[in-house]
């Protein structure tokens, strides 16, 4: 493999890496993007269990935002004003099992599994969040409580960095080539 081919492959990897962020992020943390109000819109559910959605952090005493069996689709709820950069942690309480699951990193949940998926490319002015309501991840469809928010963004949960793995591969290739010279 020539050095030009290696550079071309690296360039292609870097050029396509933003496309990876265009898909929903499992376990993504949710942050307010600009100081101001955050509004939630209920998008529906496919769950047999009854779930109540709360804003867990920052604690603000809002109580139940949506109930997936009683809230009409399209209902909006003003969560209030937040400073840019504030992390919003949402929780669903599953009434049938008395379990609670949180958005963000899997370590927040008793089963060690991420229970919310976040898609910041959902629309031009809103991000989508979907929850899974079964301990152990259930069917992992993340549509048991679905809602969108204005004025939020996300960060990915750190995973093994593909670019770092690619760089290690290049290093190994270079060392192997050097050894044969």
Given a cut of 80, whether residue 114 has pLDDT beyond it is yes
16 within a domain of the structure (yes/no): no
Q: Is 10 inside a domain boundary?
A: no
Q: Are 158 and 114 in contact (CB under 8 A)?
A: no
Tens digits of per-residue pLDDT, 124-177?
Answer: 778 899 999 999 998 888 988 999 988 877 654 444 455 555 665 666 566 666
Tell me whether residue 181 is exposed, middle or buried, using C-beta atoms within 10 angstroms of its C-beta: 0 to 12, 13 to 18, 19 or more: exposed
**CATH code for the domain of 101:** 2.60.120
61: left (phi over 0), alpha (psi -120 to 50) or beta: left
58 domain residue, yes or no: yes
Could you report the per-residue pLDDT of 24-81, keeping only the tens digit for each? 788 888 899 899 999 999 998 888 899 999 999 988 788 999 999 999 999 999 999 9
DSSP state of 96: T
pLDDT of residue 72: 95
CA-nearest of 171, 167, 168 to 14 is 167
In a domain, 171, yes or no: no
Q: Is 78 a member of any domain? A: yes
Q: Residue 70's domain spans which residues?
A: 23-156
The structure's pTM equals 0.71
Range 9-30 average pLDDT? 62
Token pair in block for residue 67 = 């109930």
Task: For residue 74, tell me if it sits in a domain.
Answer: yes
Alpha carbon distances (Å) from 15 to 9, 10, 18, 58, 141: 10, 9, 7, 37, 30
User: How many structural domains are present in the chain?
Assistant: 1
20, pLDDT greater than 60: no
Looking at the domain assignment, is residue 90 inside a domain? yes
Residue 175 lies in a domain: no
Q: Which residues contact 56 (CB under 8 A, 6 or more apart)?
A: 89, 90, 91, 102
């Amino acid at each position: 493999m020539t050095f030009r081919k290696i550079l071309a492959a690296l360039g292609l990897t870097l050029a396509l890496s933003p496309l990876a962020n265009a898909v929903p992020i499992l376990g993504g943390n949710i942050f307010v993007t600009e100081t101001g109000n955050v509004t939630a819109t209920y998008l529906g559910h496919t769950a047999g269990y009854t779930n109540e959605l709360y804003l867990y952090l920052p604690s603000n005493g809002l109580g139940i935002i949506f109930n997936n069996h009683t809230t009409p689709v399209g209902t909006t709820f003003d969560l209030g004003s937040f400073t840019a950069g504030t992390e919003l942690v949402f929780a669903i309480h599953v009434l049938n099992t008395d379990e609670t699951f949180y958005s963000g990193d899997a370590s927040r949940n008793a089963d060690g599994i991420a229970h919310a998926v976040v898609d910041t490319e959902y629309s031009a002015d809103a991000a989508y969040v979907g929850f899974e309501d079964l301990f152990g991840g259930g069917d992992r469809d993340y549509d048991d409580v679905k809602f969108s928010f204005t004025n939020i963004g996300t960060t990915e949960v750190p995973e093994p960095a593909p670019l770092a793995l690619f760089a290690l591969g290049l290093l190994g290739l270079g060392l192997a080539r050097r050894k044969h010279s």
